Amino acid sequence: MIKRVNHKGQVTIFIIIAVLVIGMGITFFVFKDNLNLGKTSLEIEPIYTSILSCLESTSEEGINYVSLHGGYYKIPEEISISYITEEVPYYYLNSKKYIPSIQRVERELENYVYENLKLCLNFSSFEEQGFEIKEGDLLVSSDIKADKINIKANYPLAITKGEDTFRLREFKIEIILSVEKLRDASEEIVDLYYEKPGFVCLTCLEDVSSKYGVEAKATLLSDENVIWFSILDPGSELKWRFVVEQ
């Protein structure tokens, strides 16, 4: 018995295979710049590490700066007061409370990192090694938790060397600092002051200090008619400062 070979079916299969191979080839050349090739990945690791290091150092500087200025990177003019060379915010002025929410503090920190991150970055040494770095728009977000701060920078980069291109976008760090408790302790102190303006309850300061594990101090600046508050986290030496109208 002779079997008839279906040449038409075989040709159809070969055509399908050819189309798939051609399609895979086109896909590779179209998207090869987005592929995380191992060789390229190792080559750009120093660039990634450098950016991450800058993000960490800038964020730490920002946290310290914002804390020293009562939760602000740029204090609103209407509640700002300068004493010698220091600028701090009023948390109580004209019988009203002005305490930044934790969300406001997050935005202030984000603004600090956004405006100062690129001052830390220096791509010249990598460009001397033959890298071409194209930058996209920078976006910064922060999330303040009870005992840490998560900071993320969405920073699109296209890094090319020779025929290889690698793309980076997201950089994340976590900083173990208790900013939230400093802000919360400040709010409790101001709430107590609001009940009896012009009077600082020293035992209340001790109670707040004990509750939050901080060291709260008040100093009367008679020449400015304000009371200066300083709240220190002994574990990290992070300090939070603000004033209230006497």
Structure tokens at 79: 């509640």
The per-residue pLDDT for 62 is 98
The per-residue pLDDT for 2 is 37
**Angle in degrees, CA 155, 158, 160, rounded to 5:** 150
Q: Running DSSP on this structure, what letter comes out for residue 77?
A: G
Structure tokens at 31: 């998207």
The per-residue pLDDT for 86 is 84
Q: Running DSSP on this structure, what letter comes out for residue 3?
A: P
User: What is the maximum span of the chain, computed from C-alpha positions, in angstroms?
Assistant: 116
**Can you list the alpha helix ranges (DSSP code H) found in the chain?**
7-31, 38-68, 102-120, 124-128, 179-195, 202-212
Which CA distances in Å does 234 have to 3, 55, 198, 201? 90, 25, 28, 22
Residue 106, number of CB atoms within 10 A of its CB: 20
Q: Residue 97's beta-bridge partner residues?
A: 92
Please report where in the chains the tokens 């709430």 appear, as a residue.
191
N- to C-terminal Cα separation, the chain: 112
The per-residue pLDDT for 43 is 84
CB 243 within 8 A of CB 88: yes
The per-residue pLDDT for 41 is 75
pLDDT, tens digit only, all 246 positions of the chain? 434 444 445 445 544 444 444 444 443 343 334 334 344 478 899 999 999 999 999 999 999 999 999 999 999 999 999 987 889 999 999 999 999 999 999 999 999 999 999 999 999 999 999 999 999 999 999 999 999 999 999 999 999 998 889 999 999 999 999 999 999 999 999 999 999 998 899 999 999 999 999 999 999 988 779 999 999 999 999 999 999 999
The per-residue pLDDT for 5 is 44
